[in-house]
Structures are given as C-alpha cells and as structure tokens.
Structure 1
C-alpha cells in the first residue's frame, strides 16, 4: 500500500467526517491508500457516527484511549500499512489531488523523509482586521513557496498537512509524548521537534500543489484565544528545550520592552496585538521553565 492518510480527532465528529470525505474524493488517482481515523478518546458521537456509517473498506476507525495528540499520532504510525503516512487535521479538507501531489515529491529522492504542503484558510465569518500578518501562522496556515522546494532550517511544515516516509521511523523515535495537545490545552511543538530529528538524516520538502484547506472556527477568532495559544507555545518551547528558570531576567526584560512599545503604538491595533502576543509567549516560557525546574514537564 502506498499511503496511509491519518486523521486524529478529539470531539469533532462532523468535521472529521467531512475530512474523510475530502480524502475519498481524490480525483484521477490510481494509488492504493487507506484512511485511519484515530479517535483520541472523544466524548461526542464520533464513535457512533463512524460505526453507523457504511464506509469503504479502506477507512478504519481506531480508538486511542490515552488522551493526547502525540499518543494518537504514534498509534497511527504503529497501525499504518502505507509506505507514506499523511497527516490531515480533523478540521481540514484535502484538495482533490493531495495524495498524488505529495507522493510525487517523495518520489523525487529517497532521502526525502518529510513533505509539508500548502495550508489555505477557511475563515468562519472572515479574517479579523486585528490579526497581524506576521503571526498568521499561529492559525496553522502555510504558503511557503510557489514551487516544490527543500525546506531549510529554521522552517518546518505544519501538522495540518504533513507527511512522512514510514521507514524513517525504523531508526527515529516518533512524536514526543510530553509535547502536543492534551484535551483542551494548547501544548505544541511536537511536530517541529520530530522534524528536527528527521532533518539530521533526511531532507524536508514543501509542495504548494498538495494543498489542504484549514477551517478557522469563530471560537478562535478572538484575542483571548490567540494570546492563550501563544502562552502555550511558550510552555511548549520551554519543555522542548528543557529551559530552566535561570533565564527569568531576560524574559522579564523582553516583557518590559513589549509593554513600552504598546504604550507607543496604542492607536495601531495590529502592533498592539503583536506585542501582547510576545508578552504571552514570554509568560508561557517563564511558567514552562519553572515547571522544568520542578520536574513537572517530564
């Protein structure tokens, strides 16, 4: 089998069904693939919906009872039969040529271990004016290049549309299970951490042609969500790099600088949000560093 498409989900039954249908709607494809729906201990009707629907034989429902996105993703890696493992978010929709365009890139070179693709937004209610362009990636959106290119450091694909050559996991550990979302928290960085390790032995590529659309729900289109997302990014980075609380003074200084800039640009909502995001990130890094010092992130 050539490809295993993986959709990990937690309490998004309707979105997940739409994601599966988008994969099954691939056009002009003669590639054998399967779809793995990894139910990460959902409490909605995800299980019933999949058991009550007459899916094709290549769609498999798998329950992963340990709550955490990395647990779900690693379960998928163990279950996958495909030569390539293609991750699609449960609130994303695959383009009609997604599978074949991603596999085309892998076929360019056996040393390509990971391929990321373009991620376009579906804004529920439209994009708010207060979101600064430089932090749009926090909404898991990517438009890295107009052509197929190698992604050099410090750039990484995003998890809403990222694929791996399964054989890389023969000698590389999969996702770190102390990183990644668990329920409603926004811990992250498990993708970039894994890709950093893969990059030591393999090439990382990007394609604009194997694209997906990512739904940005109204619940995320508020300042509170964005600041909370960045706060957890700070905790994630502190956990990933095992930062200690000794760098506290540096973070406090950066917070003070951001606060001063807010006072200087009060009439520009995007600039104010840019600085508030930096403050939230630094606060998260401080909290994460103290958690590391006390052994709470292990």
Structure 2
C-alpha cells in the first residue's frame, strides 16, 4: 500500500505585495493534499496590507505571523518555528502552484526515510516582455523535466563539484524539507537571503548542508509552480545582481561557518574547473568565440 502523505506546512514569506500574495494563496488553498497548513510570514512590513488580507479574506484558512527583522532566511526561520507540519514546503508570493504541487512535493518523503529535501519544477507564468523572455532563454528557474536523486553516498559523475553545485538542485520558490532534518542543520542562515546585504544564497546553503549531513535530495518535476518573472530590464538586472551576490554569500558561508567542508571543496575544484571549461568550449562558436545571442543593449 502507498504510505500516507506526511502532514505539510507551506511557508510563504512576503513583504508589501498583497496583490501578488492573494493570487499565490488562492492556488495554495486549492491543493489536493489531504492535510496541510498555509502560513504567511509578513517580513518587516511598513503597512498592514498583508495582515489585513490574511486575517480578513483568508481568516481561518491561512495562518499569519510577523517577522520584523528584514531578510528571507530570517522570515523562513520564523515560519519554521510556527509550522506544524512534518514536511515544510517553501514557495514565493509571485508564484501560482499547480493543484497537485504539494502532493507531488511531499510524496517522496513518505517513500524514502533518507530523504531530507525535495525540489520541484518552476516554469514561467507568462512570457510577454523581452526581459521575461531573456531570463527563460537562459534557463530561467527550471532544472529540467527528468526526476533526479542526489545521494551523498553516490555522488553524480557529471557533477564533479557535488554537493557544492547547489544551483543545479533547485530553487527557493519550490522546495521542501523534512522538518527534523532542517532543524538538525540549523535552519536557514539569517545572514543570507533576499532583504539582507547577501541578497540570496539561503536556499543553496540549506541544500548543501542537508546533503553534507548525509541526507538525500530529490528533484521532482511533477511538483510544479508557475513563476511570474520580472517584467522590466531594470528589475531583471537587479534580480541577476542579487543572484550573483547570493552565490558569493553562499560560498562565503561555507568558508566561514562550515570550514570542515573546505578541504572537500578544494579537492574537487580542479575537476570542477576542467568540467566547466569543457562545457564552455562546447557552447562556443566554431571560431572559439561566444555563440550568437546576447542580452539587452547595455549602457
């Protein structure tokens, strides 16, 4: 018989985006999972719009907590503290979740006790502006349509830097953790995430810590959310800068907070760089230059 689905909590951290949040909450309340809690974390608000929305339109259906300290990781940790689920799922206020999303995201935990984290597929909700199209043409947030299991006991041959290639595992807008596992690795690093000087890296650092602790991570594209990409060049540039800063913060966090991981990273670096050079050469044009294409006109 199929094992019962674990009780789940969906945590959505938000800041002054009540219109987008309502769209996300409507999709979350339509999930086909039999036993789940939806929890909104109001992060460093300057108005009462989010609280009014949750405690008004969604009263009795969505739980509300306030986190006055800005930062996505801090907000997520506040949500973790208030969550009642055995599995903690995280998504953003700018997504629409497929009705089967939460079921698909939590099913693997019931079948595999060694699983610490599951991530899912993120597709664009619409592609109407050049900035949205550019982001998606460079891969967007999608990690492919093939299910994949990452096991620290059997590192993947095609990822010589594993588990430090955290960007290939998934994204913070579509991820879930076994509550006990997330607690055992210390939750999210409050120095990382949107709303902090780091501007990101909280999800990547959590993935690496879960894998480094010996737990498996599964990518399951059947767990689908639709993401509303940034519409303007300025917003896209800011987002790209934030991701770069977040990646730097994640690597810095490994060096500073987890120095025991450093020897493993340094051992794998030569093979990782060689692998990257091979990929770059494959993508280059026949004359050795970059393949045609490019981003928005600079200036």
Tell me the TM-score normalized by structure 2. 0.73
Q: Distance in 2 between matches of 1:33 and 1:87?
A: 13
Correspondence for 1:251:
none
RMSD value, Cα: 3.0
Correspondence for 2:97:
94
Query: Aligned-pair distance for 1:272?
Result: 5.5
Where do residues 1-298 of structure 1 align in structure 2 (5 Å cutoff)? 2-27=7-32, 29=33, 31-44=34-47, 45-55=49-59, 57-123=60-126, 125-128=128-131, 131=134, 135-137=138-140, 141-146=141-146, 148-151=147-150, 153=162, 154=165, 155-182=168-195, 187-200=199-212, 201-218=214-231, 221-222=232-233, 224-242=234-252, 270-271=293-294
Q: Distance in 1 between matches of 2:291 and 2:181?
A: 50
Q: CA 1:234–1:22 in structure 2 vs 1: closer, same or farther (change >3 Å)?
A: closer
Q: Distance in 1 between matches of 2:112 and 2:120?
A: 17
Q: Distance in 2 between matches of 1:133 and 1:97?
A: 23
Q: Distance in 2 between matches of 1:78 and 1:8?
A: 13
Q: Distance in 2 between matches of 1:103 and 1:59?
A: 19
Unaligned segments of structure 1, at least 5 residues: 245-260, 277-298
Q: CA 1:91–1:241 in structure 2 vs 1: closer, same or farther (change >3 Å)?
A: same
Query: Aligned-pair distance for 1:107?
Result: 1.8
**Equivalences, count:** 245
Encode CA deviations 1:119-146: one digit per residue, 9 max, x unaligned.
1101362455972766333xxx214233
Q: Distance in 1 between matches of 2:74 and 2:46?
A: 17
Encode CA deviations 1:39-86: one digit per residue, 9 max, x unaligned.
10223411222222253x342011111111111001111111100001
Q: CA 1:172–1:143 in structure 2 vs 1: closer, same or farther (change >3 Å)?
A: closer
Contact kept in structure 1, 2:39 and 2:64, CA below 8 Å: yes
Higher mean C-alpha deviation, range 116-125 or range 64-73: 116-125
Q: CA 1:211–1:127 in structure 2 vs 1: closer, same or farther (change >3 Å)?
A: farther
Q: CA 1:32–1:129 in structure 2 vs 1: closer, same or farther (change >3 Å)?
A: closer
Contact kept in structure 2, 1:123 and 1:217, CA below 8 Å: no
Tell me the TM-score normalized by structure 1. 0.73
Query: Aligned-pair distance for 1:191?
Result: 0.6
Q: Distance in 1 between matches of 2:135 and 2:243?
A: 17
SS at structure 2 position matched to 1:107? helix
Encode CA deviations 1:163-194: one digit per residue, 9 max, x unaligned.
000010342111111111117x7711111011
Q: CA 1:143–1:157 in structure 2 vs 1: closer, same or farther (change >3 Å)?
A: closer
SS at structure 2 position matched to 1:241? helix
Encode CA deviations 1:191-239: one digit per residue, 9 max, x unaligned.
1011101012201101111111111242xx31x3333333333333333
Q: Distance in 1 between matches of 2:25 and 2:84?
A: 17
